[in-house]
Structure 1
């Protein structure tokens, strides 16, 4: 080899890159970036979730009621009988002179609502457009929230996608034990609805003899203690504030070295929290998570700074999971499992084994055919094919892509497609040699004549793969991804790389027999 050209240099560099970044995935080393195996290759959990979007409307109305309570108190407007009834919020302004001001405040502070007033009694309802928007937002928010929770949990490449209009597909690879599965299911389904609620001190002593219906008449709700469900609290139904004002939640430890959750509120939440605690010294305020009371301390002084603490005799794992759920946000609507199945690691191992047999068999057959039919030109194409496979693995590992069973099928298909360009090029070179062209001219013109056909075929296939990736679900995305990487890699190896090898060995090719290099007789 006398001429080391830029094409060979680029090909060698690409081959080294492919080998180096593929090794961690091939040997499954602990260090370095590796390809993540999908659910069908390593086992895991598959769930189809339903979303109770109607519950989002109730949550929205409760939030509106809390906002109304705050803005009226903040503007010294006295109201009574504030309650959420069915699909509306009702309250009464006691001073008729405050009615115009109350109307103006509601119009300014609330969006997507209709406000009716009759002799000082206000009725606030959501508009049909806001109802539809809230339901859609609940589903979209559930997808984002569940994805954030699984990401913060540290799981590798979970799939969370909207399915239809009101369902969510969740696939979590690598879940191997029933305990892991249960923990993931609880993390996904946890509403993480944080509320701070005032204890009804006037009637608190009657909580054990009071029915939920009677409590509702007073604008209260009865909730159990998280540690002891038999212990009850009578709380004002309209919360002081909720988790939508939460900005952070982290695990900490109290003076007894027990895990607790420290949380922080945004500016609005800090102001509401500070104002309420300042007016309620000597009274109790309950910290409620998912309709269970975690603590109900007596307020000793005004609490500023917008921070608080949740204690509940947690384990470290429980505290971490709750903190993750709080940080990622509360679900606007509850989710429930419609379908669940577990894919065992043995099934994944069997899929990998069969896919590898298909890949190796396809690779060996292509290599043998190319060498028999095209001679040394076939061997050059096979070298490019090896480089192509390493590049696919390296790029996927570098970006932490997930390899699924359809992705393996894409790689197997790429083996055949990767040599297609060299088949076209070799046939063009053969045609020119039969016409009497010199070997250097046949090689250069063979590449030039074949390029248009190769370019058109690869670009159209790449466009199809991009569309599949953009609009497909998990398995289809995996197939499209490996196809796309394989097409781009083959353009580099099959066109640039093999051309450079021919140029580097040009002197030897011209001296040897054409049958040896291109499978034809001179």
Structure 2
């Protein structure tokens, strides 16, 4: 007979109640958003009457998760950046020189004097004094090569060495270039993500496009320039020995050296050794602090390897100048008064409190491994986002109203029950989106509109099946029961195939396609739940109360 056990009824109503409760905050979006922002700030230690008033705008016992609005709905900034991997090749060659120099020095009796020569940025040229020792020099430098640990570079090494006259020429192998490009892009993705997260933005989209490009979309940010300021700064920190100080900006620094301008003193330049003692890659922490004079500064701390090199160099060079270089500018060049074995220190300069905080964020997030060239930038104003929301809202209302009218006219009282389930279905979609923290985009709204149309399919199948069973002179209770039983397989089959399509769209797609796939997939789950369980439970409860002798569908 037509009946549902008590525990099943409680379970169904429990899921409906939880879904509706999770969806409620989205009806008070601005108020709940201000509440959440105020709570986040108070957790960081800030407190004020304004923050407390914003926290009080929403009950603490109510859910406060919201559906995040995407770039096309909220407005924000869009950037397409290209990673300039050629700069990484040059850095690799510069970093290889000390190792090549030390290896050849051990063979000085055979190869003679060694001198670094000018060459292309992506190659290292070393002249040897004894051309007869070239074969031995090639053998020594090739022994430095390391195997490449990738699936595509099995058996290959990272460098190639050849002779040109009395010069050794060292370049990266093709396999190493491919592996370096991949590492550089992945590292850039991670650092950009960390920098954007440090800035406290909501639900950014940061993803790879092609072999060397990165797409960055951040909703709610003021302009594309503001986003570029967050991620565009390379923030490459290094500690380099000072060769001498000069006021001549045209002075030739010499091979193995470089010229860097002072950040604080105009007209002051430093000749630095190009190879840094310690770099920002060995930095593990950076925090805004105050120096002994109460001025804003940035405290830093190295990892064990960096601390060991930092301590050893300062112990061996007491009395020498030591430059702290940020993005090719000397921000400070203190004299080493004593060894610093702890691996920590402080960067001082003419910083404001905001500048010291920003610098600490950039250093903590890490240095970008390569410069970025911004190929495309757009600022989407909130007005355009509001237009998209209004258009999507109108589309949902029109679709919703049309489906409600159609079901009411086609199936009468049973159509009204389907309409109730449809309203519950849409609320459950927003509840699930809030629960998982999904981002709603304009294509996502299209997925919801499509779900509204698809949600009644299962009810149509059930109601048409009940009509057929009523024609066989079965009682109304038996007709309803058989209608749900015989329509179940068709409902499951149709929705599984659509759900598989949504999964494929999510896995293979990106950006807007994923937004559509998420709402479509969640809509299928809630549609099956409301059609099979919610409408059936409502009909059973109505039937138990009225006990009709006959029904019309």
Q: TM-score, normalised by structure 1?
A: 0.88
Whether 1:468 aligns to 2:514 is no
Structure 1, gaps ≥5 residues long: none
Larger mean CA deviation between 50-59 and 64-73 belongs to 64-73
Q: Is the 8 A contact 1:116 1:124 kept in 2?
A: yes
The reply to whether residue 182 of structure 1 matches residue 225 of structure 2 is yes
Q: Is 1:5 matched up with 2:42?
A: no
Measured in 1, the distance between the counterparts of 2:18 and 2:117 equals: 66
C-alpha displacement at 1:366, in angstroms? 1.2
Confirm whether residue 148 of structure 1 aligns to residue 180 of structure 2: no
C-alpha distance in 1 between matches for 2:376 and 2:349 = 32
Of 242, 266, 274, which aligns to 1:199? 242
In 1, the alpha carbon distance for the partners of 2:249 and 2:67 equals: 59
Q: Is the 8 A contact 1:409 1:479 kept in 2?
A: yes
The number of aligned residues is 506
> Is residue 210 of structure 2 the alignment partner of residue 134 of structure 1?
no
Alignment of 1:205-216 (within 5 A): 205=245, 207-209=246-248, 211=250, 214-216=252-254
Give the conservation status (yes or no) of the 8 Å contact 1:3–1:504: no
Distance 1:73 1:504, change over 3 A: farther
Cα distance in structure 2, aligned partners of 1:25 and 1:79: 74
Tell me the CA shift for residue 108 of structure 1.
Answer: 6.5
Using the alignment, how far apart are the partners of 2:129 and 2:546 within structure 1? 101
Contact residue 262 and residue 329 of structure 2 kept, 8 A:
yes
1:294 to 331, 339, 343: 331
Aligned CA RMSD, in angstroms, stands at 3.1
Q: Quote the Cα distance in structure 1 between the aligned partners of 2:105 and 2:312.
A: 10
Is 1:367 aligned to residue 404 of structure 2? yes
SS at match of 2:377: strand
Query: Is the alpha carbon distance of 1:90 and 1:225 closer, same or farther for their aligned partners in structure 2, counting shifts above 3 Å?
Result: same
Counterparts in 2 of 1:341 and 1:100: CA distance versus 1, 3 Å: closer
- Residue 88 (str. 1) matches residue 123 (str. 2): yes
Q: Which residue of 1 aligns with 2:16?
A: 15
Map 1:276-315 onto structure 2 (within 5 A).
Answer: 276-315=313-352
1:192 Cα deviation after fit: 1.6
Q: In the alignment, what sits opposite 2:151?
A: none
Match 1:106 to one of 144, 147, 171: 144
In structure 1, the residue matched to 2:441 is 404
1:413 matches 2:414:
no
Relative to structure 1, the CA distance from residue 109 to residue 118 in structure 2 (aligned partners, 3 Å threshold; closer, same or farther) is: farther
1:43 equivalent in structure 2: 75
Secondary structure of 1:282 counterpart: coil
* Paired position in structure 2 for 1:239: 276
Shift of 1:345: 0.7
* In 2: Cα distance, 1:479 partner to 1:363 partner: 18
Distance in structure 1 (CA, Å) of the matches to 2:101 and 2:344: 22
- With over 3 angstroms needed to count, the CA separation of the structure-2 counterparts of 1:289 and 1:210, relative to structure 1, is closer
Q: Secondary structure at the match of 1:215?
A: coil
Match of 2:90 in 1: 58
1:311-326 matched pairs, under 5 angstroms? 311-326=348-363
Q: Distance in 2 between matches of 1:73 and 1:22?
A: 71
What whole-Å deviation, never above 9, does each CA across 1:395-433 have from its counterpart, x for those lacking one?
111222111111111111111111111111111111111
1:225-257 per-residue CA deviation (whole Å, 9 max, x = no partner) reads 122342211101122222222222222222333
Change (3 A) 1:52 1:433: same
Which consecutive unaligned segments of at least 5 residues does structure 2 have?
A: 37-63, 149-156
Inter-partner Cα distance in structure 2 for 1:469 and 1:313:
49
Give the whole-Å Cα distance in 2 for the aligned partners of 1:467 and 1:276: 56
The CA deviation at 1:84 is 7.1
The Cα offsets for residues 456-508 of structure 1, whole Å up to 9 and x where unpaired, read as: 11111111111111121211111111111111111211112222222333334
Distance in 1 separating the partners of 2:522 and 2:102: 56
**What displacement does 1:343 show?**
0.9
SS of the equivalent of 1:375 reads: helix
> Post-superposition shift, 1:121?
7.0
Residue of structure 2 in register with 1:26 after alignment: 27
In structure 1, what is the Cα distance between the partners aligned to 2:295 and 2:226? 21
Post-superposition offset of 1:388: 1.3
| Aligned counterparts of 2:99 and 2:479: Cα–Cα separation in 1 | 80
Larger RCO, structures 1/2 (Cα 8 Å, 6+ apart): 1
Shift of 1:69: 6.9
Structure 2 CA distance for aligned equivalents of residues 407 and 278 of structure 1? 61
Contact 1:35/1:393 (8 A) holds in 2: yes
Please report how far the alpha carbon of residue 99 of structure 1 lies from its aligned counterpart in structure 2 after TM superposition: 7.2
- Separation in 2, partners of 1:251, 1:257: 12
SS in structure 1 of the partner of residue 488 of structure 2: helix
Structure 1 position 44, deviation (Å): 0.7
Instruction: Describe the SS at the equivalent of 2:207.
Output: strand
